[in-house]
Amino acid sequence: MLEEAGFVLTDLERDGIEVADFGLSELEQTGLEVVVYVNTERVCAKEIVMFPGQTCPEHRHPPFDGTPGKEETFRCRTGLVYLYLDGPAAEQPSCWPAKADRGAYTAEQPSCWPAKADRGAYTVWHEVVLRPGEQRLVPPNTLHWFQAGPEGAIVSEFSTQSRDDLDVFTDPDIARTTVVTSNWVSAEGESEDPGAAAHR
């Protein structure tokens, strides 16, 4: 998807794509695929790939080590992103599915209502729609979440240092575990057959 859009990766980067399912095991609904270009003590830049309707769950980046916390700018490169922040709530959020039940998810009609929203895991509903070339700064320590539109999205993130371990999620079930694998689709398949690896 990145290559189709003209983003060239090195082999090392391709092999190091982070697939974050936030410990929820519902990657197609809730998760991110991330290429980290740089993450020093001062600067971080990433390319985020999102499946259609995939949601990065609500969280904030708290102050640490005398800094105000992570400041991020999200820039939509392809597709469409619905970004939610504190502020006047959208009466009818775009992420809300027109024809699917809340929480329902099928391949034919991806539900854009984020899983667990009914259980209080999503509390900010001020909507900002980002189309290609549009961007938004999210100040430190500000609750936010975002969801890709029906065709998925590529989003560039420009920020201060990323410290995923410090992120505070609204959903208490979330663990910001990162799975790094070069071939996560087949790796998932293989995990159903633990014997496969032994035969390689």
* Residue from the set 18, 26, 134, 164 that interacts with a second copy by CB under 8 A: 134
* Residue from the set 29, 54, 55, 160 that interacts with a second copy by CB under 8 A: 160
Torsion 14-28-136-134 (CA) sign: positive
- The pair phi, psi for residue 44, each rounded to 5°, is -140, 140
Evaluate whether 29 touches 106 at the Cβ level (below 8 Å): no
State which residue, 12 or 98, has the beta carbon closest to a second copy: 12
State which residue, 27 or 76, has the beta carbon closest to a second copy: 76
Residue 42, SS3? coil
**Which uninterrupted H or E stretch holds 184?**
helix 184-191
Q: Is 7 in the site for a second copy (CB under 8 A)?
A: yes
CB neighbours (10 Å) of residue 79? 21
Among the residue ranges 40-48, 85-93, 162-170, 178-186, the one whose residues contact a second copy (CB under 8 A): 40-48
Q: Is 30 in the site for a second copy (CB under 8 A)?
A: no
What tokens appear for 183 in the block?
């071939």
Among the residue ranges 85-93, 101-109, 145-153, 155-163, the one whose residues contact a second copy (CB under 8 A): 155-163
Distance of closest approach, residue 106 Cβ to a second copy, in angstroms: 31
Q: Is 132 in the site for a second copy (CB under 8 A)?
A: yes
**Which uninterrupted H or E stretch holds 189?**
helix 184-191
Q: Is 42 in the site for a second copy (CB under 8 A)?
A: yes
Evaluate whether 112 touches 147 at the Cβ level (below 8 Å): yes
Residues contributing to the site for a second copy (CB under 8 A):
5-10, 13, 37-38, 40, 42-45, 71, 73, 75, 77-78, 132-135, 137, 156, 158-160
